[in-house]
Amino acid sequence: MPETPGSNGLEGTTLVLGGAKSGKSMYAESLIEAAGGGIYLATATAGDEEMRRKIAAHRDRRGGGWETIEEPLDVAATLARLAGDGRQQPVLLDCLTLWLSNLMHAGSDIDRSTTELETALRAAPFPVVTVSNEVGGGIIPDTELGRAFMNRAGILNQRIAQASDHVILMTAGIPQALK
């Protein structure tokens, strides 16, 4: 089995996949913290009280040693800007499925945005850890929008997995190295 990226230093790009409450964000944060800290690139928007509480819980758990950049749509440009600024800190991009939802609601070109993200990940001169929900293990949604999201998320995960050096699947808080 491949080693997890934290087992011998964080390098390249790592995709951390898992279901809801699987421990993927905490694991991804631990990778960045083990490398000495970094930048948290957050895609969530606080559209309701539940999401506000979730964002606050994530911030509290991380503590103050992180630089946080909130970018719900143009994450590729943010990564490119950080690279252009000469930044070397590892980046945690959390999370791709919220980013996808934001793109869908904005009517963005998802294929183009994904291609731009793949390019930015491959070009990043610093380690990048991405987090995404694995949506393929549950029931098929009964709405057209739900099915469209599930299908797009599956394709997004496949593409980012191909662009990543490491892929970790989180199950019940246990990391399983896939790549």
Share of the chain above pLDDT 90, in %: 77
Task: Check residue 8 and give its pLDDT.
Answer: 44
Mean pLDDT of the chain: 91
Cα–Cα distance, 112 to 129 (Å, whole number): 21
Task: Check residue 1 and give its pLDDT.
Answer: 34
Tens-place pLDDT, residues 100-117: 999 999 999 999 999 999
Burial 127-145 (b: 16+ CB within 10 A, else e): bbbbbbbbbeeeeeeeeee
Task: Check residue 5 and give its pLDDT.
Answer: 58
Task: Check residue 65 and give its pLDDT.
Answer: 79
Architecture of domain 5-177: 3-Layer(aba) Sandwich (3.40)
Cα–Cα distance, 179 to 40 (Å, whole number): 23
Tens-place pLDDT, residues 47-99: 788 877 877 777 777 777 789 999 999 999 999 999 999 999 999 999 999 99
What residues are annotated to the active site?
58
pTM confidence score: 0.90
Task: Check residue 9 and give its pLDDT.
Answer: 67
Answer yes or no: is pLDDT of 173 > 70.
yes
